[in-house]
Amino acid sequence: MYNLSPKISGLWDRLFGWLSSHSGVDLEVIAHAAPAPLSALWARPDMGAVFMCGFPFSRLAAAERPMPLAAPVSLADWGEERPVYASHIVAAHDKPLTESDLSAVRWGWTVRDSQSGYNAPREFVAALGNGRSVRETVGPLLNPRGVVEAIGAGTIDVGAIDAYAYQLLEMHEPDMIAPLRVVATTRPAPFPLLVAARQQSPETIAALQGALLGAHRNPEGRDILRSLGLAAFAEPDIAAYEQLPARARAIDVALGGAW
């Protein structure tokens, strides 16, 4: 989900290597690059620590969900020192758009089961006075990189990028987002969480969770977190995730079938 470049992927590899060492759980880092579907990854019975978007997590029955481990707390201001994130509405740097223009432009979206790339921008548009007038949308663009490329190609005028993904790009790949500017930021939502397969033993779950929640108290762990723009991992607030389907239904009503 956040393997945005080889450099950033290397930082995640370092985190998961540290996690394996400090939890005592043998973790193998595997590649699962787009367009491979994330749903296939989330279904693996050997899943040890994998990011999962809160919206698909919330739509599963409690008995079918992967086991929640921890959710990140970003160092960015929008993180509010809590395990929440948002989406940035971005446009080309040379495109003179304001929030008042956003109901009359071409929107891009990533995948329909994404909170950050689909529901968050739709919720933003629904809050506009004339949000129902948005009719031209382009998708699926799969991930933040697809949104960046579509804006660069002129296929879309605006799109939503997970604010944490944008933070990572600002830190490590600034050239990738140099052609973009942030027009607006959406309402916060619970951060994508790290999950493990239900088939893992309670001892494995506890070991992984304990290491993640304590990472900010370990000198090496804290250094790795900082390299990823994170302050810490926190225990996920499951009740907050369970509000996401109701938010999505309210968006559907507000937009009247648009998108």
Alpha-helical regions (H) of 29-154: 38-42, 54-59, 120-126, 144-153
Q: Which of 164, 188, 212 is the last residue of a domain?
A: 188
| Angstrom distance (rounded) from CA 141 to CA 146 | 5
Q: Average model confidence (pLDDT) for the chain? A: 94
Please count the other Cβ atoms lying within 10 Å of the Cβ belonging to residue 1: 20
Same domain, 125 and 152: yes
| Angstrom distance (rounded) from CA 114 to CA 41 | 15
- Structure-block tokens of residue 8: 């950033």
* Structural domain includes residue 254: no
Number of domains in the chain: 2
Question: Per DSSP, which regions of 86-179 are E strands?
Answer: 87-92, 107-108, 137-138, 158-162
DSSP summary character for residue 209: H
Which amino acid, residue 14?
R
* Structural domain includes residue 250: no
Closest C-alpha among 210, 217, 230 to residue 76: 230
| Angstrom distance (rounded) from CA 176 to CA 188 | 24
| Angstrom distance (rounded) from CA 33 to CA 23 | 26
Same domain, 216 and 183: no
For residue 143, what is the domain's CATH number? 3.40.190.10
Same domain, 229 and 141: no
| 11-57 pLDDT per residue, tens | 999 999 999 999 999 999 998 877 788 888 999 999 999 999 999 99
Same domain, 78 and 204: yes
Q: Which of 188, 209, 224 is the last residue of a domain?
A: 188
Amino acid 224: pLDDT? 98
Same domain, 122 and 145: yes
Same domain, 90 and 134: yes
* Structural domain includes residue 31: yes
| 69-94 pLDDT per residue, tens | 999 999 999 999 999 999 999 999 99
Amino acid 36: pLDDT? 82
Same domain, 131 and 181: yes
Global pTM value: 0.93
Same domain, 74 and 110: no
| Angstrom distance (rounded) from CA 176 to CA 189 | 25
The confidence band for 136, taking pLDDT boundaries of 50, 70 and 90, is: confident
* Structural domain includes residue 206: yes
Place of tokens 């989900």: 1
Q: Which of 163, 188, 213 is the last residue of a domain?
A: 188
* Structural domain includes residue 251: no
Same domain, 150 and 222: no
| Angstrom distance (rounded) from CA 175 to CA 57 | 33
Provide the β-strand partners of residue 138: 108
* Structural domain includes residue 1: no
* Structural domain includes residue 24: yes
Q: Find the mean pLDDT for residues 140-165.
A: 94
The confidence band for 96, taking pLDDT boundaries of 50, 70 and 90, is: confident
| Angstrom distance (rounded) from CA 72 to CA 120 | 18
Provide the β-strand partners of residue 51: 194
Same domain, 171 and 230: no
| 204-248 pLDDT per residue, tens | 999 999 999 999 999 999 999 999 999 999 999 999 999 999 999
Same domain, 47 and 68: yes
Same domain, 167 and 194: no
Q: Which residues of 242-258 are buried (b: 16+ CB within 10 A; e: fewer)?
A: eebeebbeebeebbeeb
- Structure-block tokens of residue 75: 């160092």
| Angstrom distance (rounded) from CA 115 to CA 251 | 12
* Structural domain includes residue 211: yes
Which residue range forms the structural domain that includes residue 105? Answer: 85-188
